[in-house]
Amino acid sequence: MKLFKTKFELTLSSIMLALYISSIIIFSILYFLEIIKSPKIEPLIGGGLVSLIAVFIQFLMQYQDFKNNEKLTKSGVVNFLERRDDKDYYEKIIKTTKEKLNLLFYTGKRFSEDFCQDFDGDNAIIEALKKGVKIRLLLIDESLLPDDEKDNFRIAENNFKRLKIKYKDNFDYRYYKHIQTHNIFMNESSAIIGPYFHKKKSKYSNSIHFKSNSPYVTDFINFFEAEWEECT
pTM listed for this prediction: 0.72
Which residues fall within 8 angstroms of residue 56, CB to CB, at 6 or more apart? 20, 21, 24
Residue spans per domain, the chain? 12-75, 79-230
57, 46 contact by CB (below 8 A)? no
Class of domain 79-230: alpha beta
Q: DSSP string of 139-159?
A: EE-GGGS-GGGHHHHHHHHHH
pLDDT for position 1: 44
Tell me the CB-side half-sphere exposure of residue 177, using CA atoms within 13 A: 5
Whether residue 5 is predicted with pLDDT greater than 60 in this model: the reply is no
Interatomic CA distance for residues 90 and 108, integer angstroms? 14
144, 177 contact by CB (below 8 A)? yes
Interatomic CA distance for residues 189 and 124, integer angstroms? 17
182, 194 contact by CB (below 8 A)? yes
Phi (first) and psi of residue 182, to 5 degrees: -135, 150
- Mean pLDDT (the chain) is 87
Q: Which residues partner with 137 through β-bridges?
A: 103, 173
What number is the average pLDDT over the span 199-206? 79
204, 196 contact by CB (below 8 A)? no
Interatomic CA distance for residues 128 and 154, integer angstroms? 23
Query: Could you read off the pLDDT of 173-188 as tens digits, one per residue?
Result: 999 999 888 999 999 9
Whether residue 8 is predicted with pLDDT greater than 70 in this model: the reply is no
Query: Could you read off the pLDDT of 25-45 as tens digits, one per residue?
Result: 888 888 787 777 777 787 787
